[in-house]
Amino acid sequence: MMTMKQTRFASGKLALAMAAVLFGAPAFGQTPAVPATTGSLHGTVTDPTGLPLMKGEVRFTTNKAAAAAEDKTLKYDYVFPVDASGNYVAKDIKPADYYVIVFQEGKHLDYQDVPIKAGDDKAVNFDMTREEYMKELPPEKRKEIEEVRKKNSEALSVNKVVVNLNATLARVRADLAAATANRDDVSHDVSDMQSATQAKPDESILWFVYGDTLQAQGDHLAKADRATGKAPMTDDDVLKNYSDAGDAFKKSADLNAASKKPDANTQSSAYNQIGLLLAKSGKLPEASAALETAVKLEPANAGMYYGNEAAILFNSNQTEASLAAAEKAIAADPKRADPYFIKGQALIGNSTVDPKTQKPVAPPGCIEAYQMYLELDPDGKQAATVKEILGGFDVKIDTKYKAGKKN
């Protein structure tokens, strides 16, 4: 990630002293300032690769000859640390002509002649990327530094791309969240994510969100078709968005699987989305296969994936297949309500009539499935339908299944 440097602005105050003489009284004014007797120095140290020197010292001496000769016995007049950002601050320096040297791990790196007068507050930077400094280095050292500079430049370029892509992801996700309820147009997000995948085609999450945008745009176009009485599955644009979305999700799953740290949830989520898209396109066997793949990749979420499969099959009037999927969903996660509703709906068609009482008789497991739905989700979308069905079978509705009071 990139960070922005902050610039500080220093403000000065102008003091106006006024003296007044009244009836021979003594004059009053400001106390005269005490003249400064020392000076200060501050600045930044940049290493030969162009990065801040993250650790080191700035040393002051008036014995230039001994310092230039790197005399190990020389005692320096002042020593100040260089911080992790490459900055140093040197205060209370007695006036003199100093030889100021940058040290790191005991090695003499750079120097400047700096005269300091009383009251000075000088900014003195040490930039080791300057041409005259580089010329003094051995050829092999210059070559090493150039290689580091190149790598740093490439890293900065990558960081800049990552920052931009993170901003794009955040914006697109916010757009999708806002557009979901009304199936709004998200074509601009599709374009943004297409550009993002081109900028960094090896990033799994970019392809996943690209798939989300394509799917959302397909839903938007399908909504427009229904409003005009057109069947969405006859619209080439709708079909292309769904198909491209499936390809994007598959790309995301494949990239994640090939990464250094594969994440089963990312892969299974991608196949879950593929399954839902295939179902919208009317490709039910392929949809079931994709959801079964999601289960294999992440068994811990099998209840959700089998539940989605059951809903797809049920909505497509594949009763027996939806019942089998619902049973799997219940076995994997008995706390999910919808599979119980699908199970009840799949079974109720096998109801019979008691020849003696002429009352309907539900097949085994049907009433229990409806009751479990109400127990788990008494305020659910299907609650009213379930209560009506149970009432038709003279099944007493337990009061605990009734919708609670809403605040």
Q: For 180-189, write each residue's pLDDT tens digit.
A: 999 999 999 9
Residue 400 has pLDDT above 80, yes or no: no
Residues 6+ apart with CB under 8 A from 92: 38, 40
Q: How many domains does the chain have?
A: 3
Examine residue 32 and state whether it is found in any structural domain, yes or no.
no
Indicate whether 341 and 287 sit together in one domain: no
Task: Give CA separation, 134 vs 46, 104, 112, 145, in Å.
Answer: 13, 17, 15, 9
Domain boundary among 305, 334, 363: 334
Q: What is the CATH number of the domain that holds 217?
A: 1.25.40.10
Q: Are residues 292 and 264 in the same domain?
A: yes
Q: Is residue 34 part of a domain?
A: no
Helix (H, G, I), strand (E, B), or coil: what is residue 205? Answer: helix
End residue of a domain, out of 80, 115, 136: 136
- Are residue 176 and residue 320 in the same domain, yes or no? yes
Predicted pLDDT at 31: 59
* Rounded-to-integer distance, Cα 245 and Cα 239, Å: 10
In this structure, are 317 and 170 located in the same domain?
A: yes
- Examine the domain organization and report whether 293 and 185 are in the same domain: yes
Mean pLDDT along residues 160-164: 79
- Taking alpha carbons only, the member of 211, 203, 216 closest to residue 165 is 203
> Minimum mean pLDDT among 48-52, 63-67, 346-350: which range?
48-52
- Tell me what pLDDT residue 33 has: 66
pLDDT digits 0-9 by tens, 54-71:
899 999 999 999 998 889
* Residue 144 domain flag: no
User: Could you read off the pLDDT of 286-296 as tens digits, one per residue?
Assistant: 999 999 999 99
- Does the structure show a pLDDT above 70 at 214? yes
Domain contains 20: no
What does the mean pLDDT of the chain come to? 87
Question: 325: closest CA among 335, 337, 334, 313?
Answer: 313
Enter the pTM of the model: 0.61
DSSP annotation string for 275-310? HHHHHHTT-HHHHHHHHHHHHHH-GGGHHHHHHHHH
CATH number of the domain encompassing residue 118:
2.60.40.1120
In a domain, 370, yes or no: yes
Range of the domain at 365: 337-407
- H helix intervals, 228-263: 236-258
Please check whether residues 175 and 199 belong to one and the same domain: yes
Exposure class string for 334-345: b at 16+ Cβ within 10 A, else e: eebbbbbbbbbb
Q: What is the DSSP string of 137-175?
A: S-HHHHHHHHHHHHHHHHHHHHHHHHHHHHHHHHHHHHH
156 lies in the same domain as 292: yes
Least confident of 6-15, 241-250, 311-320, 393-402: 6-15
**Residue 5 falls within a domain, yes or no?**
no
DSSP character for 383? Answer: H
* pLDDT score, position 171: 94
Share of the chain above pLDDT 90, in %: 69
Same domain, 349 and 372: yes
Q: What is the mean pLDDT of residues 232-252?
A: 95
Residue 23 has pLDDT above 50, yes or no: no
A 10 A CB-CB count for 403 gives 12
pLDDT at 17: 33
Whether residue 206 is contained in a domain is answered as yes
Q: If pLDDT is split at 50, 70 and 90, which confidence band does 18 have?
A: very low
214 occurs within a structural domain: yes
What average pLDDT does range 43-57 have in this prediction? 89
Residues 314 and 348 in one domain: no
- Which pLDDT belongs to residue 10? 34
Give the domain-ending residue among 334, 366, 385.
334
Residue 385 has pLDDT above 60, yes or no: yes
User: What was the pLDDT predicted at 42?
Assistant: 97
Q: Give the count of beta carbons closer than 10 Å to the beta carbon of residue 405.
A: 5
